[in-house]
Amino acid sequence: MKLNIRVGQGYDVHPFADGRKLILGGVEIPHERGLAGHSDADVLCHALCDALLGAAGLHDIGAHFPDTDEQYKGADSTRFVSLCVNLLAQLGWSVGNVDVTVIAQEPKVAPFVPLMRQRLAELLLVDEDEVNVKATTTERLGSIGRREGIAAQAVVLIARDPGHQTTG
């Protein structure tokens, strides 16, 4: 019997930039700098998209939402998450659970975790208890430890809807 579940993982990193809002998991975090990027540079949502797409064998975020496409300039990255969830649903997949880690020396992310979990659960069409968000530092090591940017890692479990017909 073939199990109809898959796991995907994603990673993203962006440098800090002046004059931008800091958005993580669809939540604005008060900070003097945001992240540089073509879209809103939400590393958490980008890592999550890569994990979702990878689990379904659909390449990566850059293939679906390239930074060379002007329609995505300044885009809200929660839109990318919703589009990935919709694409997976068209193929018969739904999200089981997600586990995301934000890696940042600054700012402190923990106070915003409940809001991020709530927002991500809405986007992923799951209950909040199926979304885990945690934060860590690099103990001042490397570019993140030097406060040059923020990274995120995501792991997702997806399951094939029982009634979905596949070919091959």
Tell me whether residue 129 is annotated as binding. no
Tell me whether residue 46 is annotated as binding. yes
Tell me whether residue 62 is annotated as binding. yes
Tell me whether residue 66 is annotated as binding. yes
Our measurement of the distance from residue 146's CA atom to the centroid of its chain's CA atoms, rounded to an integer in Å, reads 23
Q: Is 165 exposed, middle or buried (0-12, 13-18, 19+ CB in 10 A)?
A: exposed
User: How far apart are the C-alpha atoms of 49 and 12, rounded to whole Å?
Assistant: 10
Tell me whether residue 164 is annotated as binding. no
Tell me whether residue 39 is annotated as binding. yes
Of 1, 6, 7, nearest to 160 (Cα)?
Answer: 6
Tell me whether residue 94 is annotated as binding. no
Tell me whether residue 143 is annotated as binding. no
Tell me whether residue 158 is annotated as binding. no
Tell me whether residue 12 is annotated as binding. yes
Tell me whether residue 67 is annotated as binding. yes
Tell me whether residue 166 is annotated as binding. no
Tell me whether residue 32 is annotated as binding. no
User: How far apart are the C-alpha atoms of 15 and 151, rounded to whole Å?
Assistant: 9
State the binding site for a divalent metal cation.
12, 14, 46
State the binding site.
12-14, 38-39, 46, 60-62, 65-69, 136-139, 146
